[in-house]
Amino acid sequence: MLLAAGLGTRLRPFTDNHPKALAMVNGKSLLQHNIEYLNNNGITDIIVNVHHFPNQIIAALAGNNNFGNHITISDESGEVLETGGGLVKAAWFFDDGNPFVLMNVDVLTDLDIRSMIKSHIRSGALATLAVSTRITSRYFLFDENNMLCGWRNIKTGEEKNSRYSTHNFAKAFSGIQVISPEIFSLITFSGKFSIVDVYLELSKSKSIMAYDHTGSKFIDVGKPESIAEAEKMFR
């Protein structure tokens, strides 16, 4: 699933008239980049949630024959449901019992998704979160066994702890995760909510694991100035 429903306020003025998914990097939209990225990793059955200028995304997919993939739209045009609510709305799509990838549309990376999926299956985790060592304002906290145990905002000083750990290791979340469909029966939130809150709640009793891809190419294309940086990184 590609999360493409957000307002993309950090990408203004572009997102005053367009969805962030259609921001261009080296002649291709973020949407196209990530569909091709998933395709190259063997993932061709994709659902995309839409809210902000949804018809532009639908038209871009239709005009390019879905970039050769099977694409389904999850329509949130009435109300944007955030990352957790958007996933729950699309739960019906993940009905084959297999783990699936959930990914923000506004990140670019060369992370080896196949390897991440294998790690997820091997660990038996409920969810595996792609993380790396980099500077950001918010971090997930993991224990010495790479299990999620908290969250920290270094700008506000806010910290949430979900399980006891003698040592916490702060890692930046990359907006990419592999999830087992069992999660849908465990989510107690409803309506509009963040997947981060789901992970923090479930990590009290379930294994939410880190997959550290430090060293991979990665950029959050969330601001206008990051477009130029992304174009250099992903020529």
pLDDT in tens, 83-136: 999 999 999 999 999 999 999 999 999 999 999 999 999 999 999 999 999 999
Q: Which residue has the higher pLDDT, 167 or 86?
A: 86
Cβ(234)–Cβ(26) below 8 Å: yes
Strands (E), 68-206: 70-75, 100-104, 107-109, 127-132, 138-142, 148-153, 159-161, 169-179
Domains and CATH numbers, the chain: 2-233 (3.90.550.10)
pLDDT in tens, 183-232: 999 999 999 999 999 999 999 999 999 999 999 999 999 888 899 999 99
Query: What's the DSSP call for residue 180?
Result: -
Amino acid at 156: T
Instruction: Give this prediction's pTM.
Output: 0.93
Nearest 5°: phi and psi at 218? -160, 140
